[in-house]
Amino acid sequence: MRGDTVVRTSFGTVTRVSLRKFLRGLGKTCISSGTLILLFVAFQLWGTGIAESHAQNSLKQQFAASTTTTPPTTAPASAAVTTIPPALPAPPTGSAVAIIDIPKIRVDAAVVEGVGVGDLQKGPGHYPGSPLPGQAGNAAIAGHRTTYGAPFYRLDELVPGDPILVTTKDGSRPWQYVVTSSKSVSPSDVAVLDPSSSPELTLTTCTPRFTATQRLVVVARLVGAVDPRPPTPAPASAPGVSSIQGADAVGGTLSGRSTSRTPAVLWGLAAAAVWVLAWAISRRWRRWGAYALLAPVFVVCLFFFFESFARFLPANV
């Protein structure tokens, strides 16, 4: 029979398999897989930005509510005895710690404490264990390059001399930094987060765009006086973070803390189960009626699957 192929089984019987049906099924599988990939790309590029926008609004409101107007105490230079202000307590992971303003690339974003996957989905993240902006040492911030609002999308455009302003919760004034260098490093090169003798700000993100093969590192120096308070200590519960001003990045890389794969597997199975159920119902009922009935459930499962699957990517991609 034309279009058929004969397959001999281990039991010695002969089974006729329609080559046409096989190719039709293969074609549908490829089309479905391609559609899912395109939907995931769309979710990454645009859908994640919606979640980041809502998170930024919430963080900025939280930051405004917690900002004080009392400047840090400084002692006169000629005083024989100086009083060192106490260190600020370690900010809770996921809370707003600063507002970063980079006029040249139009960045005006709330900085969240932490560089885990969930933290960087809200906006640029401050590496726990590194000093806060304005303090002595190397304050470090990571951010997404192409997803979740892509706050550092144009970070490669910064050149020496460009200003960066960071406002912290003391509310006295923004700390002004000036870019001094920009370079690409390996994701495992955590030396860029090592403590520094001078007050610096280090910004990290993925490079080239839409990839995670390297990390773009922009370093800026503080202009003016340093916050006299000692560097904020790292929280004891921060996993994988050194207590010495962020000398070790989370997980030994600049990518942020990884996450469990279980949610992605479960949501993927749930989406597949809904699709199979819709197909089974369509065989006994109206085809489009079955798909229309279960489409909302499938979309919800697919959304959470995409969100969980995206966590396999580096947190600052």
Q: Per-residue pLDDT tens for 17-46?
A: 578 878 887 887 888 788 888 888 788 878
Q: Do residue 197 and residue 317 come from a single domain?
A: no
Q: What is the pLDDT of residue 47?
A: 81
Q: Do residue 170 and residue 296 come from a single domain?
A: no
- Dist CA 159 CA 137 (whole Å): 21
Domain limits for position 298? 259-317
Q: Within a domain: residue 244? A: yes
Domain boundary among 226, 252, 278: 252
Q: Do residue 104 and residue 198 come from a single domain?
A: yes
Q: Within a domain: residue 38? A: no
Q: Within a domain: residue 280? A: yes
Q: Report which of residues 232 and 271 the model is more confident about.
A: 271
- Dist CA 283 CA 290 (whole Å): 9
Q: Report which of residues 264 and 124 the model is more confident about.
A: 124
Q: Do residue 121 and residue 225 come from a single domain?
A: yes
Q: For residues 52-75, give the mean pLDDT.
A: 78
Domain boundary among 252, 274, 303: 252
Q: What is the pLDDT of residue 95?
A: 94
Q: How many domains are there within the chain? A: 2
Q: Within a domain: residue 36? A: no
Q: Within a domain: residue 105? A: yes
Assess whether pLDDT exceeds 50 at residue 240: no
159, 164, 150: which is closest to 207 by C-alpha?
A: 150
Rounded alpha-carbon distances, angstroms, from residue 75 to 70, 81, 130: 15, 9, 25
Lowest-pLDDT choice from 107-111, 145-149, 156-160, 228-232:
228-232
Q: Do residue 294 and residue 183 come from a single domain?
A: no
Q: For residues 101-121, give the mean pLDDT.
A: 94
Domain boundary among 233, 252, 271: 252
Q: Report which of residues 25 and 167 the model is more confident about.
A: 167
Average pLDDT, the chain: 81
Q: What is the pLDDT of residue 84?
A: 67
- Dist CA 5 CA 21 (whole Å): 11
Q: Do residue 307 and residue 162 come from a single domain?
A: no
Q: Do residue 277 and residue 312 come from a single domain?
A: yes
Q: Within a domain: residue 217? A: yes
- Dist CA 239 CA 263 (whole Å): 21
Q: Within a domain: residue 298? A: yes
Q: Do residue 132 and residue 206 come from a single domain?
A: yes
Lowest-pLDDT choice from 104-108, 209-213, 237-241, 248-252:
237-241
Q: What is the pLDDT of residue 1?
A: 46
- pTM, full prediction: 0.75
Q: Do residue 178 and residue 152 come from a single domain?
A: yes
- Dist CA 113 CA 169 (whole Å): 13
Q: Do residue 312 and residue 165 come from a single domain?
A: no
Q: Report which of residues 295 and 11 the model is more confident about.
A: 295
159, 255, 140, 139: which is closest to 206 by C-alpha?
A: 255
135: which residues sit within 8 A by CB, 6+ positions away?
A: 199, 226, 227, 229, 230, 231, 232
Per-residue pLDDT band for 212 (boundaries 50, 70, 90) equals confident
Q: Within a domain: residue 19? A: no
Q: What is the pLDDT of residue 31?
A: 87
Q: Do residue 240 and residue 277 come from a single domain?
A: no
Q: Do residue 177 and residue 235 come from a single domain?
A: yes
